Amino acid sequence: TLALWDLNTGTRRSVFRGHTNDVTSVAFSPCNRQIVSGSRDRSVKVWNTIADLKATLDASTSRNANDHHTDWVSCVRFSPATDPIVVSGGHDGKVKVWSLSQADFGLLHSIDAHDGYV
């Protein structure tokens, strides 16, 4: 579970439910309209700021076995590029580059160049 807090008032604005294990990383998009989260449940999730889940990037949504992380997702970031891109790294040693501009939030690249976790 994630929560978005208003730092001026100290009140919770939104609760993001959907991960089935600990959340390990969270990042805001450059425009502050989207949030990406990674988890020990091996998934990457994309949300809007009112806690609507927009996409889940994991084994249940992948077209083939290489399209998702096979271990914890340890870090997630939005690219500052104009095209909406998310990069995720995991304990499986892989870095995944996801396009959010496609209708199906497709995998652009999978980089398997690490012996340890990312």
Length of the chain: 118
Each residue's pLDDT tens digit, 54-111: 988 887 776 776 788 989 999 999 998 777 899 999 999 999 999 887 666 788 888 8
Q: How buried is 17 (Cβ within 10 angstroms: 0-12 exposed, 13-18 middle, 19+ buried)?
A: exposed
Task: Report the distance separating Cα 31 and Cα 85, nearest Å.
Answer: 13
Residue for token digits 């095209």? 83
Quote the DSSP letter at residue 42.
S
Task: Report the distance separating Cα 37 and Cα 25, nearest Å.
Answer: 6
Token pair listed for 61 = 């949504």
Under the banding of pLDDT at 50, 70 and 90, the label for residue 115 is: confident
Each residue's pLDDT tens digit, 25-38: 999 999 899 999 99
